[in-house]
Each structure stands twice: as C-alpha cells, then as structure tokens.
Amino acid sequence: MKAFGTICTWGSGRSLLFAINNPNLLLRCRESGSTASRQNASNSRRTACRLGRVRSVEIHAEEQCILKTEEDRPLKVLASPSRNRLFRVALVGIVGFFLLGVCALFPAGAGAGARAGALGLATVTGTSGGVGEALNTSTVLLFCLLFIAAAALAAAETAITTLWPWKVRKLASEEGDSSMFTVLENNLTRFLTTILIATTVATIFTTAVATEVASAIFGGKAAVAYVTAGLTLFFLFFGEILPKSLAVHNAERVLRVLLPFVSTLSVILYPIGKILAFSANLILRLFNLYREEDAPVSEEELRLMIAGADRSGTIEPYESKLISNVLDLEEIDVRDVMCPRVDMVALPSDATLRDFLSVEEQYHFSRVPIFQGTTDNIIGVMHAKSLLKYLGQSDLLDTTKVEDLADAPYFVPESVSAWSVLEQMRLRRLHLAVVVDEYGGTAGLVTLEDILEEVVGEIYDEDDDIESEESDIVELQNGSFFIDGQAELEKVAVALLMELPEDDLAEHGTISGFLCNRLEGIPSAGELVTIDKVEFKIVTADDRRILTLEAARSEEEPESSNDMPDLFKVMENSFGQNDDRKQNEERRRSEER
C-alpha cells in the first residue's frame, strides 16, 4: 500500500502527514506506540484508521519512510512536494498576479508621463516624456513594495495571534534558543509594536502614492473618487482578507517566512517601539489593567482553549470531555454524587462478624458503615479484609463484634465540593466518607469510585448488573417511558421534553422526590399525576419513596367532559386524590394490624 505526503514534526517525535488515494483525506500517525488516525481535511474531524497501531517507522530518506503496523503490513510513504515549497509557490503566484494587476492599472510610458505633465504635475513627474516615464515607473514600483509590505505585515500579525501563546511556546521549546519562535516568545510586545508601526506607515504612504498616481493618470476630482473606491476594494481584498486568510490556515509557515523580516524591522524601529510599548504599559498600569506575562491562565480561558482544541481536532472528543469533567468537580457538591441514606447498607454496633459475613455474601461491599442506635450515629467503617483471618474460626465469628474491628469514620458536609472530598481522600488514604447534613445527621455515603465516575463515567465491578444500571429511563414500544424512581430529574425532563423551572431542577435530584413534593406526600401504586402535558403513573412505591413509574406525553389537551369551570375541576381532582390517598393509607394500616 503506497501513499504520498510530507514528513513533518508532531509533538516530541516524528510524524507523517500524507494522503491515501484521496487528496481530501490526511493520515497522521506518530513514530511508534500510537494509533494511526485519519483526518478529514475539510472539517478536521478525526476518525479511527484501520491500519492499527504503528510498531515502527523506518526513515530511508528525507521524503520517504516505511511504517509497520501490528498486522505487519508495511506502509510505504513517498512524500509529495514539500508543503513549504507549495506554500512559497502559491505566495509567489499571488504576488505575481498582484503585480500584473498593478501594471494593467498603472501603465508606465511616455504617454503617461506626458499626461501627468499636462495635468500640471510637472514638478513631480517632470516636463519631458523621458523624465516623466522614469519617475512614473519608480512611483509604481514604490507603490508595489509598500503594498506588499503592508500585506505581509497583516499576515504576520494574524499568524502570531493564531499561534500565541501555546503553539509558539511549544515550537520555541522544541527548536531551542536559536529559533525565531524563542525570540518571538521573549519579545511579543516588541514584535506587535513593530508590526503596528510598520503597517501604519506603509498604509499611509501607499495611499499617498496611489492618490498621486491616480491623479497623474486620470485627473479630475470625479475620476480620483472612482479610483479611490476601486483601490479601497483592491486594498481590502489583497491587503487584508487574502493575506489574513492565508495566515490563519498556514500560521506556522507564514511565521517561518515572515519572522526574519519582522525581526529586522523591529531592530530598525526599536527606539520608537520601545517608547510606544512603555507608554502603553504605563497607561495599563495606571488603570490596573496590566497583566504579567507569567500570569496564570484562568478557568474560563482554559475551557475556551479546550473547546478550540476539540473543534480543531487537536484532542479527541473524549479527551475534551474528561478535562471538562475534572474542571466541573469544583462545582459539583458531594450531595450530588453520594449514595443517599435510604440506600445505605449498614450494620449495628452489636452485630457479629457472622452478620457481617452474611452482608458481604449478599452485597459484596468492601466497606460497610457501623452505627450505634440509628444510622444518624455512624461510629465506624468495617473493612471486608478484616474478615479474612477469622473465616476458619467459627467461634470467633459468632462472638466478635464488628465495632471492635471497625476503623474510625471520616465525615464530610454535604455542601462541600466533590473535588475537595477527593483531595482529602487522597491525603487520608481513604475510600469511603460519611456525608452529614447541616444538623449533623447522616445524609449518605460517598466513595472514591462515586467521585471518579463523575470524571470517567460509570465504573462497573464484576458483580454489577449493567443492564439495570443503564436502564433508569426505558422507552417502551407504545411511546411511553418506564422510569426508575431514582432517575435524575434533569434526564427525565430531557427525555419527556418537559420545561421545568430551574428552581425545581436545583431542589430535586430525582423524579421520585419531585413527584412526592408536587403531591405533598408519598403516592400509592396506580396513582396518576399530570405535569407539563406529561402523565405519570405510579407503578410501585413503598412507605418512603416512589420505586418505579410510567410516563407518557400527551400532545393534545384533554377535552372537557362538561362545562364545569376549570377551578372547580381542579378542586374536585385534588379532593378526589386526597380521598383516595386517605383510603389507601387506612387500608395499609388495617393490613398492618
């Protein structure tokens, strides 16, 4: 399999960039141990390539190498003409096209010189045709040089802002102190000031020369106005849009070509640039707007860089998601990731090791909290490893209390961030913490796994029921949904296209808590409630919460069966639901008796 492309540097090792049977598909792979990836050149989206992981790269020449994948299929790469060479050819072509346009617009000749003299510009272009010809030609050449300089400076400025700061710093560290990128990194203000001064001067003189030439050739105020309008469009396209677009898509190559030119100008314009830079920094300091070059990057800037790297294909989408999840840990309260108190599995302090063994056989937990009296008073955490040395001693299993072997618990308030709890667990070498509410009562438990799942997603053990874990919201064939009572309220709202107030989403974490709050009590099985055109039917419930329910969205409002006012209907439904709830509660109490 042969492919053509260019060998270039990617990261700290060698990388290849080439096309396979399609010039719109680029294949990029690192030197070894990495996975070859295919990139669509039009939208920079990368997908997995079927070449497998690269085992080795053999460089046979500057523009030829052979890749070997895990399948031992050698991939010979013959480099096409260098991208830098193509870039230079394109740049020369653009400049040549520009010069041809200028020559067609401003023809030099004796006739032009004579016309200029006839218009009264003899002091500028001379009275004789020969002198006018020479001066007119030099004027046109001066215009071309100034215009090309202005366009090049505009491209250099755009390239710098595109690569700054991280790409410039990376190139500087890779290429050493002698690199022009190192000079740029250490003298950014100097370079930008030089570009600003040179661009301003070139633009002013280019405009002046163009006005002079237009006046000499066409004459008259109306003609000059038309020429000025045409030159404005000409400057806008060739002096701004074209060079800046070229710089955005080829920022590194543009800087490699233009940085020596800008560096030379910076030496010439250094005194003026130094004075202007000092004045600018002084004004910024007066208004407390000056920022040190080594100032830390804010979280907002970091998120913007991550989003930009994701869109450009520099990092994979899952990598962007991981980084964003890590940053979000600061904003997530531990109450949002904990196991609530009602789902806790705990043992009383007077339980024996055999009781603990029975719990382990049923739930397979590595740690179980120990309470005294009620679960509001957690006094320790029992570790499953503590059972190992007692397994062969039946008498000790029946007589040893779990509180004698339990470790001291670690308590955290429910309002603290998940990131802070993660840091404390790492420092204290713990895997479980007891979450307490503002009154000191037990709110739930949080484990190290619970926090890590907020970053990497669900982590399943060997005994976890993956189907039940992933089926909190299941769409049925008839279009309705079967929902677990502990499903997140926000996910349920999204699935059912509900528009809930932000206060409800912030106050209630589960659909069970939300419905119980709306009904002002624990509903019974079979009870119905309609919220935002969604009808919820309670399937199963216990004395403390809703276990499962069904939900279906009605697209049309139900028609009225009579002319009773809406207020009376609402009151009737409310009283009816309250009567049904009272009857269900009386029936449950009688059954318990």
> Is there a contact between 363 and 472 (Cβ–Cβ < 8 Å)?
no
Question: What pLDDT digit, counting tens, does each position of 165-184 carry?
Answer: 878 888 888 888 888 889 88
pLDDT cut 70: percent of the chain above it:
66
Residue 90 confidence (pLDDT) above 60: no
Contacts of 449 (CB under 8 A, 6+ apart): 431, 459
Instruction: Give the pLDDT mean for 373-393.
Output: 92
Instruction: Give the pLDDT mean for 11-19.
Output: 36
Instruction: Give the pLDDT mean for 304-319.
Output: 82
Residue 420 confidence (pLDDT) above 50: yes
The number of beta carbons lying within 10 Å of the beta carbon of residue 437 is 15
What kind of fold does domain 471-558 have according to CATH? 3.30.465
The number of beta carbons lying within 10 Å of the beta carbon of residue 20 is 18
Q: What is the per-residue pLDDT for 13?
A: 34
Instruction: Give the pLDDT mean for 30-40.
Output: 36
pLDDT cut 90: percent of the chain above it:
28
Whole-angstrom distance, CA of residue 512 vs CA of residue 312:
42
For residues 90 and 572, the model is more confident at 90
Whole-angstrom distance, CA of residue 434 vs CA of residue 194:
61
- Tell me which of 4-8, 177-181, 215-219 is least confident: 4-8
pLDDT-derived band at 139, boundaries 50, 70, 90? confident
Residue 573 confidence (pLDDT) above 70: no
Helix (H) or strand (E) holding 206, with range, is: helix 188-217
Backbone angles phi, psi at 377, to 5 degrees: -120, 75
Q: Give the residue extent of every domain in the chain.
A: 2-80, 84-286, 299-330, 333-456, 471-558
Write down the residue that tokens 């709306």 correspond to: 518
Question: What pLDDT digit, counting tens, does each position of 497-520 carry?
Answer: 888 888 888 888 899 999 998 888
Whole-angstrom distance, CA of residue 163 vs CA of residue 195:
16
Instruction: Give the pLDDT mean for 39-63.
Output: 37
What's the chain's average pLDDT? 74
Q: What is the per-residue pLDDT for 464?
A: 64
Q: What is the per-residue pLDDT for 366?
A: 92
Which pTM does this prediction carry? 0.52
Q: How far is CA 320 from the centre of its chain?
A: 5
Residue 82 confidence (pLDDT) above 60: no
Helix (H) or strand (E) holding 17, with range, is: strand 13-19
Q: What is the per-residue pLDDT for 134?
A: 40
Question: What pLDDT digit, counting tens, does each position of 453-488 carry?
Answer: 999 988 877 766 655 555 688 988 888 999 999 888
Instruction: Give the pLDDT mean for 439-446.
Output: 94
> Is there a contact between 158 and 249 (Cβ–Cβ < 8 Å)?
no
CATH number of the domain at 333-456, please?
3.10.580.10
Residue 121 confidence (pLDDT) above 80: no
Instruction: Give the pLDDT mean for 102-115.
Output: 42
